[in-house]
Amino acid sequence: MIQKIENIPITDVSYPVTRAANLCGFAERGYVEEEYFMYGTANVYGMQDGACGCAGEAVIRFADAPYVNRFLVRRPADISKASGRVAIEILNATSGVDIDRTWVLCKEQMMREGDVYIGITSKPSSLRPLHKADPERYKALYWSNPNPARLPLSIIAESANGGALEQGSEMGLFWDMLTDLHVRIRGGAQFLGGIEPKYVYLIGWSQSCGYIIRYMNTFVNTGRAPQFDGCFVAGGVRRKTPPLNQYEAGSMPGEPGNNIEKASVPYIMMQTESENAAMNNIDALVPDSDDPEFMVRTYEVPGATHDSQYTMLDYFGDRKDEYRIGIILDYPGEEPYPNDYPYEFAFSAAYAQMCRWAEKKIPAIHTPKIPLNLRNENIRDQFGNAVGGWRLPPIEHPACTYFPYCTPINQGGIPGLFGCRHPFEEGKLQEMYGTLAKYEELIAASADKCIEEGTLLARDRQACIDYCVKEAKLFGLE
């Protein structure tokens, strides 16, 4: 139960980690960013039968464990410009610090519409970099651990790539935090600045997708938590959904819990080439459905990669905030060109599809999946790009080959998370398109086709054309 919500003042020297106001021009765009601490207590749950996955029923193992967590609010300064939508992102904790990736990919559409964005810290391991970044600002944050048993070192080690678990705190407090924050939002909380919430959506990226699957299956779909109006999950690695508490195992491939079991509200899942068939996701593919109890779309975006130049490098700019907490966001590959496929256009359009489905009852569009060969690898065309999927102009009329992986300079790197792009051989673009002017005409026609199909928003048309022309010019088309 939330006992108090406190607005933490923002100054030139004390400001939120994962702040967006400086990166997104909030002052010019009429948005404000605020940070709040929520003080309360939460239960720690476990599965009644002790099994993995969702086969059993969640029961309370420990009640009323105290915590202080934080969340960010980004909203229109003028409430008359507000859409009435509130999107709650479960901030991604995999890198050890809060990452608001769904915001990064959908922010243009959210701000154009006047949506409220809320990002909530999802793991206690994310508190350490906050304390490091600004000890005075974040000294109140903590998640207690009511379990007197020691956390096995093997579990701590296994969790290293998913946000390390800690003996002194309990990640299982999060489920009640999310429920209680949602209830406050529905009641028109003061931190909304007078904006009336008409629709509340749950969104998340990568590891946070597993959180959404777990939360929806175990809490929302069983009536233990209120229903959202829609879910937008992206870049999901559904290999293993998180456990209810850190002493239990999460669900493994083939076990219950890897898939959403019921979706009585629109549930949209976006996958890049890094995850559509990799990391056991092919074994957890969710088919499209218009059934009132299973309203699901799974979209796969060829050309796109889990991490990209835009989401990891361009968005963060000089990245001084990340440096001060010891997180260096960089391209890890030997190849000279990081993957910069503009999948933010696809994500914005898919987010708009979810909102339309939820609010106007117009089912989201269907797109084909990326076909696979017998080794479960994406099938590629004569240019080396994946076929099928949610196709945008730069993949329909490519100026290079987009790969969802790179060759890590550091041998310990993960090759499947930050892709690269390869230029075509010299003279190939002239042979394919003739001149830059003719290529721009082709891209413009392709963009119009995408707008008609619903895979590109009209307001992103020119930005998409500009990207394609810039890419072709970079690689030698004149």
Of 171, 182, 178, nearest to 143 by C-alpha is 171
3-state secondary structure of 428: helix
Q: Which of 194, 220, 236 is the last residue of a domain?
A: 236
In a domain, 116, yes or no: yes
In tens, the pLDDT along 223-248 reads 999 999 999 999 887 666 888 998 88
pLDDT at 413 over 60: no
pLDDT of residue 50: 45
Q: How far is CA 48 from CA 55, 171, 358, in A?
A: 9, 18, 34
pLDDT of residue 312: 86
pLDDT of residue 306: 93
* Percent of the residues in the chain that have a pLDDT greater than 90, as a whole number: 72
Q: How many domains does the chain have?
A: 2
Tell whether 231 and 267 lie within a shared domain. no
pLDDT of residue 415: 57
Q: Which of 190, 221, 236 is the last residue of a domain?
A: 236
Tell whether 321 and 432 lie within a shared domain. yes
Tell whether 137 and 278 lie within a shared domain. no
Tell whether 305 and 197 lie within a shared domain. no
> b or e along 250-274 (b: 16 or more beta carbons within 10 Å of the residue's beta carbon)?
bbeeebebbbbbebebbbbbbbbbb
In a domain, 447, yes or no: yes
Tell whether 107 and 57 lie within a shared domain. yes
pLDDT of residue 461: 98
Of 306, 299, 284, 398, nearest to 346 by C-alpha is 299
Tell whether 391 and 459 lie within a shared domain. yes
Tell whether 35 and 153 lie within a shared domain. yes
Q: Which of 201, 236, 271 is the last residue of a domain?
A: 236
Tell whether 174 and 317 lie within a shared domain. no
Distance of alpha carbon 267 from alpha carbon 236, whole angstroms: 13
* Percent of the residues in the chain that have a pLDDT greater than 70, as a whole number: 90
pLDDT of residue 167: 80
In a domain, 254, yes or no: no
In a domain, 128, yes or no: yes
pLDDT of residue 53: 43
Structural domain span for residue 132:
1-236
> 158 pLDDT band (50/70/90 cuts)?
low
3-state secondary structure of 244: coil
Give me the numbers of helices (H) and strands (E) for the chain, helices first please: 13, 13
Tell whether 21 and 130 lie within a shared domain. yes
pLDDT of residue 252: 54
pLDDT of residue 51: 45
pLDDT of residue 291: 97
Mean pLDDT of the chain: 90
Tell whether 146 and 76 lie within a shared domain. yes
- The strand ranges marked E within 48-182 are 58-76, 85-90, 116-120, 142-143
Tell whether 205 and 323 lie within a shared domain. no
Q: Which two tokens stand for residue 34?
A: 């605020």
In a domain, 335, yes or no: yes
In a domain, 414, yes or no: yes
| pTM for this entry | 0.94
In a domain, 361, yes or no: yes
> 162 pLDDT band (50/70/90 cuts)?
low
pLDDT of residue 316: 81
pLDDT of residue 154: 72
In a domain, 242, yes or no: no
Tell whether 298 and 197 lie within a shared domain. no
